[in-house]
Structure 1
């Protein structure tokens, strides 16, 4: 099994907006046998990809 969630915050910073997030996950069963390092690494990679694309979309919308 796998379950999780995330909290996202937006805060003003002058003329910019700062996006912050905290994610949490709970895993068990066969998926947990992969090891926490592999799972954490994959989660960080996917988060980085998401926010990179998110930044591109937001910046394109501002242009």
Structure 2
């Protein structure tokens, strides 16, 4: 399991995409789960499952992959 808190927060969009591709490839090749925190929709789009926390409440935004 890999935990990542805002892994692309300080990066430009190109390098942010590279980091997300590396995380995605590493997770798939090792069958690992990634728990990622982000405020960016483009980063969240890489996930298979998204849980949104707003006003102290969580909402599951599960995607079918």
Which category describes the TM-score, using the shorter chain as reference length? Answer: 0.3 to 0.5
| Structure-1-length-normalised TM-score | 0.34
Structure with a larger share of its residues in helix: 1
Q: Which protein is richer in strand relative to its size? A: 1
